[in-house]
């Protein structure tokens, strides 16, 4: 059973508009969340993260929102650029204890149309 | 600063053969992870080293997979004997905190 879910396998957005990528999780033990971007034939690249003590984190064009009660997070990209076209993975982790692996969603392919 | 590197980038082997993947983490990172992505699905955890010790190997599929990290620097992941279902992209990541840095991956194809 997947603990981190990205229900939209793909998303197309016009250049300059907002891209919103969604992620849901089921494990209430997760206390930090990350978004990674992946281009073909490359490894995932860290984009932005958020701790469970916050509900928003912003870095330039990228903002991550966390709704703990709904176990939902989203990544907003404003404005979207063609270079943002990539697969975006949501990941979650538990900071306490010895288990430090990340649990990933299946990814969302974002296509930004010029 | 050099990132995480992995070798080889691609490997094509026949069922029953042995393959060894290598990962060089970012210098100074004590934590090293192996993950696998199969058939374009989610990236799944395989195991976690802290320095040379296996901290968590709960994601290893079976005993055909053997990971080592002698000396706490680079790590190897051996698959012996390889099966068709082992095909996928194997990623290595390293970290000193919650943020993990990934290598480019090794694409393994078992025919």
DSSP string, A34-80: EEEEE-TTS--EEEEEEETT-SEEEETTEEEEEETTTTEEEEEESS-
Residues in A closer than 8 angstroms to B105, CB to CB, are: 42-43
Residues in B closer than 8 angstroms to A32, CB to CB, are: 98
pLDDT digits (tens, 9 = 90+) for A35-93: 999 999 899 999 999 999 999 999 999 999 999 999 999 999 999 999 999 999 999 99
Q: Of A42, A92, A100, which to mutate for an interface test with B (greatest number of B Cβ within 10 Å)?
A: A100
A101 and B33 within 8 Å at the Cβ level: the answer is yes
- The tokens for B19 are 């393959």
Q: How confident is the model at residue A99 (pLDDT cuts 50, 70, 90)?
A: low
pLDDT digits (tens, 9 = 90+) for B61-92: 999 999 999 888 999 999 999 999 999 999 99
Residues in B closer than 8 angstroms to A45, CB to CB, are: 102
Question: Distance, in angstroms, between B109 CA and closest chain A CA?
Answer: 14
pLDDT digits (tens, 9 = 90+) for B17-68: 999 999 999 999 999 999 999 987 889 999 999 999 999 999 999 999 999 9
Residue B11: what pLDDT?
98
Residue B41: what pLDDT?
85
Residue A107: what pLDDT?
95
| Residue B107 reports pLDDT greater than 80 | yes
Question: Distance, in angstroms, between B4 CA and closest chain A CA?
Answer: 10
The rounded distance, in Å, linking the Cα atoms of B88 and B30 is: 26
CB of A44 within 8 Å of any CB in chain B? Answer: yes
Torsion of CA B52, B58, B64, B66, to 10 degrees: 0
- The tokens for B12 are 């094509």
CB of A106 within 8 Å of any CB in chain B? Answer: yes
Q: Which of A49, A104, A107 sits opposite B98 (nearest CB)?
A: A49
The rounded distance, in Å, linking the Cα atoms of A23 and A106 is: 10
CA A35 from centre of chain: 4
Question: Distance, in angstroms, between A52 CA and closest chain B CA?
Answer: 13
């Amino acid at each position: 059973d997947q603990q981190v879910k990205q229900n939209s396998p793909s998303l197309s957005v016009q250049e300059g508009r907002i891209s919103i990528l969604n992620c849901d999780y089921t494990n209430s033990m997760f206390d930090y969340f990350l978004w990674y971007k992946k281009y073909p034939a490359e490894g995932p690249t860290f984009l932005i993260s958020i701790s469970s003590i916050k509900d928003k984190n912003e870095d330039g064009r990228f903002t991550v929102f966390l709704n703990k009660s709904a176990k939902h997070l989203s990544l907003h990209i404003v404005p979207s650029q063609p270079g943002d076209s990539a697969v975006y993975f949501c990941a979650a982790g538990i900071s306490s204890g010895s288990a430090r692996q990340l649990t990933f969603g299946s990814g969302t392919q974002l296509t930004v149309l010029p | 600063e050099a990132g995480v590197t992995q070798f080889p980038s691609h490997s094509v082997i026949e069922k029953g053969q042995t393959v060894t993947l290598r990962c060089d983490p970012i210098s100074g990172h004590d934590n090293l992870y192996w993950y696998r992505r199969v058939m374009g699905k989610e990236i799944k955890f395989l195991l976690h080293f802290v320095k040379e010790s296996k901290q968590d190997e709960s994601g290893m599929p079976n005993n055909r997979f053997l990971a080592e990290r002698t000396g706490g620097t680079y790590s190897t992941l051996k698959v012996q004997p390889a099966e068709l279902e082992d095909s996928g992209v194997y990623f290595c990541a390293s970290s000193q905190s919650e943020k993990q840095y990934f290598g480019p991956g090794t694409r393994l194809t078992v025919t």
